Amino acid sequence: MSCFHLENVSYRYAKTPVLRGVDLRLEPGEILGLFGHNGAGKTTCIKLILGLMQPAEGQISVLGGVPGDPQVTRHIGYLPENVMFYPQLTGREILSHFARLKGVSLGQVEELLGQVGLADAMDTRVKTYSKGMRQRLGLAQALLGKPKLLMLDEPTVGLDPVATADLYRLLRRLRDEGTGIVLCSHVLPGVEPYIDRAAILTEGALQAVGDLPSLRRQANMAITLTLEPEGSFSDLEKAVNEASASVGLTTSDASQPGVNADKGVLRVDVRPAEKMPLIRALLASGEVRDMNVHQPGLEDIYMHFIGSGGLAHRGGAQ
Amino acid sequence: MISIWTIARKELSDSLRNRWLVAIALVFATLALGIAWFGAAASGQVGYASTPATIASLASLGIFLIPLIALLLAYDAIVGEEEGGTLLLLMTYPLSRSQLLLGKFLGHGFTLALATLIGFGVAGIAIAVLVEGISVAVLAAGMLQFIVSTILLGWGFIALAYVVSVRVSEKSIAAGLALAIWFFFVLVFDLVLLGVLVASEGKLSSDLLPWLLMLNPTDIYRLLNIVAFSETSQLSGVLSLGSDLPIGAAGMWCGLVLWFAVPLGVALLLFKNRRI
């Protein structure tokens, strides 16, 4: 049984299309990163899965049922972006209220508050909470009743690095226990190591879905080799040119944009398929003392699919 | 059912926490005792006038106060949750919109009922104990009817406040509209009715006119509490129309019940169609 399955889902707001033919599914024990620019339709996707809105077209099934059905909702945990609570109540009172609404035992309340690091603050009023503490309370709320589907919208906003690491560790543990998790975030390098699959939305349409290697293949983006010369720099340049020529690379000249020198190292951008032949030829030349291979990261892939310039020329050291 | 009760319970504990309940009860008790003690001041003496006169005076004050308190209690029920950012979260729980609104109504309604019962109840007991030679049976019957009708009137205005609260998108607008509702039913309606009466110069069907009073819950309330205890000669203004109403007390009670049931139904319907 899938955590959710969207089939050709479209949604319009005042006749403006917000989602267009989205196909997406999430299996138990999987963390899906949902990315997109502001207004791309991430929140709309989540609201449709939660049953807060009805799609204009298409089918949605959630945990084998209909979105919005109380029997389904009971097993969903949701952390909205900028979560807010009743300021006059304490953390414990708020979590107890939500636990009652979800039909979950009140024994979980204290345990969850401890788990998110609010054990000391659970009896103070939420209006004195910092942004990070509110976020943690929001997280505790989402974890009530051990959900089978967990949807987190910008969960790390306001969290310090230690709390962020704790959160990701917790998510990984939940995933291993079989929870399906959706993670919306703009901090792409932060979530990259933790997601199993990424879905990239632009203007309401799904641009790409898949795990990172397959997205990399799909994007066919350049891989950057950073080369340190064994001897003189010009010898290395010559070796690169020869090696490029021998593997039939088009970007064979040091004057071309694919290759550039910087602080005594040489950077060469190659297509994924050209990478290994070039490396072999270079190593054979004996002019390379050290080499660093930089794969495009989630952020690069994202930029590629969002289509804002991409990384045709990426200078900075990684 | 449990989720309705969970919401109601939170509203009730909120009104205990912010001392709304205590404040309302205190205001009611003070008013009732003040009127009881100085009720005869108009005739030049200090002391208890009579049970019907006391209840009539209480009802006249209640007409201003009860709608105002009910509207204040309830105007931000939904729009407040939305502005506070909790409505969206609540709607992702196994809780339907009608359950949320009914829970709110239960909580607010119970708060108002409890405050009314305590406030006027305590005053009634004090009067029964302190005033010599009073007929406790008459007082108890009068007070009971007064308290029940006050609660119904309050519920009516809570429901009217919900109609506003589920419709608008900002708390300040809801507050403004709630005040407008108060202004209309408490101050404007009777004036307009009187104006229509005068302007029509008796051309309007005299069978129809009394029914117009049923369009205002505060008029029904006034009729119930003043007509029931006074001679018709004491009625003034548009209330004299009430003596022509062919439906009697039972009909008026029905009117009060309808006045909270119908707006509540409307609020439920509007809330169902609201975008979140």
Q: A238-268, pLDDT tens digit by residue?
A: 888 888 877 766 554 444 555 666 777 888 8
What is the distance, to the nearest Å, from the Cα of residue B162 to the centroid of all Cα atoms in its chain? Answer: 14
Helix, strand, coil percentages, rounded to 5, for chain A: 35, 25, 35
Q: A218-232, pLDDT tens digit by residue?
A: 888 888 888 888 888
Which candidate from B14, B94, B276 shows the least CB-CB separation from A52? B276
What is the distance, to the nearest Å, from the Cα of residue B180 to the centroid of all Cα atoms in its chain? Answer: 16
Residue A159 has pLDDT above 50, yes or no: yes
Q: Given an 8 Å threshold on Cβ–Cβ distance, is A76 in contact with B92? A: yes
**CA dist., res. B28 & res. B94, Å (int):** 38
Give, in order, the Cα–Cα distances in Å from A63 to each of A71, A149, A162.
10, 8, 33
Beta bridge partners of A183: A33, A152
Q: A281-311, pLDDT tens digit by residue?
A: 888 888 888 888 888 888 888 888 887 533 3
Q: B160-202, pLDDT tens digit by residue?
A: 999 999 999 999 999 999 999 999 999 999 899 888 888 887 7
Total Cβ atoms within 10 A of residue A25: 17
Q: Given an 8 Å threshold on Cβ–Cβ distance, is B84 in contact with A76? A: no
One-letter amino acid at A184 equals: C
Residue partners of B215: CB distance under 8 A and separation at least 6: B189
pLDDT of residue A309: 39
Q: In what order do the strands lie in the sheet with A4-13?
A: A16-26, A4-13, A57-62
Contact predicate A63/A4, CB 8 Å: yes
Residue B78 has pLDDT above 80, yes or no: yes
The tokens for B100 are 């949320």
Q: In what order do the strands lie in the sheet with A31-36?
A: A76-79, A149-153, A180-184, A31-36, A197-202, A205-210
- CA terminus-to-terminus distance, chain B: 23
Mutate to test the interface with A, among B89, B97, B272, B276 (most CBs of A within 10 A): B89
Residue A128 has pLDDT above 50, yes or no: yes
Q: Is A97 on the interface with B (CB under 8 A)?
A: yes
Q: Is A73 on the interface with B (CB under 8 A)?
A: yes
Stated pTM of the model: 0.85
A202 backbone dihedrals φ, ψ, rounded to 5°:
-135, 135
Total Cβ atoms within 10 A of residue A167: 20
Residue A49 has pLDDT above 90, yes or no: yes
Residue A98 has pLDDT above 60, yes or no: yes
Neighboring chain A residues of B93 at a CB cutoff of 8 Å: 73, 98, 101-102
DSSP B1-70: -HHHHHHHHHHHHHHHHTTHHHHHHHHHHHHHHHHHHHTTGGGT--S---HHHHHHHHHHHHHHHHHHHH
Q: Is B92 on the interface with A (CB under 8 A)?
A: yes
Q: Is the dihedral of CA A121, A125, A129, A131 positive or negative?
A: positive
Note the helical H segments in chain A: 42-50, 70-73, 91-102, 107-115, 131-142, 161-176, 188-191, 212-219, 233-247, 272-285, 298-306
Q: Is B98 on the interface with A (CB under 8 A)?
A: no
- Which residue in the block uniquely carries the two structure tokens 């004299």? B240
The tokens for B105 are 């109504």
pLDDT of residue A259: 66
Beta bridge partners of B2: none
- CA terminus-to-terminus distance, chain A: 41
Which ipTM score applies to this complex? Answer: 0.87
Distance from the B5 Cα atom to the nearest Cα atom in chain A, whole angstroms: 9
**Residue A223: closest CA among A185, A267, A281, A158:** A267
**CA dist., res. B28 & res. B58, Å (int):** 9
Which candidate from B3, B14, B85 shows the least CB-CB separation from A84? B85
**CA dist., res. A317 & res. A224, Å (int):** 10
Q: B193-235, pLDDT tens digit by residue?
A: 888 888 887 777 767 777 888 899 999 998 888 766 555 445 5
**pLDDT confidence tier of residue A316, bands split at 50, 70 and 90:** very low
pLDDT of residue A249: 65
User: Reduced to 3 states, what is the DSSP secondary structure of residue A28?
Assistant: coil
Which run of H or of E encompasses B140? Answer: helix B136-165
The residue in chain B having the minimum alpha-carbon distance to the alpha carbon of residue A145 is B93
Which candidate from B10, B17, B92 shows the least CB-CB separation from A50? B92
A235 backbone dihedrals φ, ψ, rounded to 5°:
-60, -40
Q: Is B91 on the interface with A (CB under 8 A)?
A: yes
Neighboring chain B residues of A83 at a CB cutoff of 8 Å: 85, 89
Distance from the A133 Cα atom to the nearest Cα atom in chain B, whole angstroms: 16
Neighboring chain A residues of B6 at a CB cutoff of 8 Å: 97, 100-101
Distance from the B118 Cα atom to the nearest Cα atom in chain A, whole angstroms: 26
The tokens for A267 are 């950077």
